[in-house]
């Protein structure tokens, strides 16, 4: 088997730079750059143009939809979410109203928010008020319990776990 020399492996175009490896790589890069990189860059530009066109079409579409909504004065939720105020039914009474649970967490608070919760405009038989007092001060604890008893006497369904 005969040995290959550098003159047999490297074409004549590289004769001047056959000893310098970096120059040989630079020459190879110059030869493959145009057929390899240029088509990839053209493809990337085409993809960017297509995506820009898609974004433009989407913006125009949304602009037309918004103008039509403003022009006809319709809202998308007009047909689906019609609501009516609750009406008192004499036969059913307050059972048309749902049960509501109001929880009042408290911890060493001198300003009591119990009165605000007890003053809600909701049928008193359809609301439960729970006072969750974790106070460590016994005077505040007694004050909260006294306030709960005062509202319970007025007919409010108020719970104070002892």
Give how many domains the chain has, as a whole number: 2
Q: Which of 18, 39, 72 is the last residue of a domain?
A: 72
- C-alpha to C-alpha distance for 159 and 148, rounded to whole angstroms: 8
**Do 153 and 124 touch, CB atoms closer than 8 A?**
no
Backbone angles phi, psi at 105, to 5 degrees: -80, 135
Q: What is the pLDDT of residues 65-103, one digit of tens each?
A: 989 888 887 665 555 656 666 666 665 666 778 888 999
Please state, rounded to an integer, the average pLDDT across all residues of the chain: 81
Same domain, 64 and 103: no
Same domain, 68 and 124: no
136 alpha carbon, distance to own chain's centre: 39
Q: Which two tokens stand for residue 101?
A: 């649970």
SS3 content of the chain, % helix, strand, coil (to 5): 55, 10, 35
Structural domain containing residue 42: 6-72
Quote the pTM value: 0.44
Residue 79 located in a structural domain:
no
Q: Which whole-number Å values give the CA distances from 36 to 10, 24, 41, 44, in the listed order?
A: 22, 18, 9, 13
What is the rounded average pLDDT of the residues 29-52?
90
**Do 144 and 132 touch, CB atoms closer than 8 A?**
no
Lowest mean pLDDT among 72-76, 95-99, 108-112, 152-156: 72-76
- C-alpha to C-alpha distance for 16 and 43, rounded to whole angstroms: 36
Residue 32 located in a structural domain:
yes
Residue 87 located in a structural domain:
no
Residue 78 located in a structural domain:
no
Same domain, 111 and 155: yes
What is the rounded average pLDDT of the residues 27-42?
85
């Amino acid at each position: 088997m005969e040995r290959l020399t550098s003159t047999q492996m490297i074409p004549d175009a590289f004769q001047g730079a056959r000893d310098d490896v970096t120059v040989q790589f630079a020459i190879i890069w110059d030869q493959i750059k145009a057929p390899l990189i240029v088509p990839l860059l053209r493809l990337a530009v085409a993809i960017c143009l297509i995506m820009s066109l898609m974004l433009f079409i989407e913006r125009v579409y949304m602009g037309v939809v918004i103008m039509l909504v403003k022009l006809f004065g319709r809202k998308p939720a007009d047909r689906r979410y019609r609501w009516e105020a609750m009406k008192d039914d004499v036969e059913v009474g307050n059972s048309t109203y749902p049960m509501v649970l109001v929880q009042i967490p408290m911890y060493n608070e001198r300003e009591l928010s119990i009165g605000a919760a007890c003053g809600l405009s909701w049928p008193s038989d359809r609301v439960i008020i729970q006072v969750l007092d974790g106070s460590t001060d016994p005077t505040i604890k007694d004050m909260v319990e006294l306030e709960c008893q005062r509202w319970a006497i007025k007919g409010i369904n108020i719970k104070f776990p002892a």
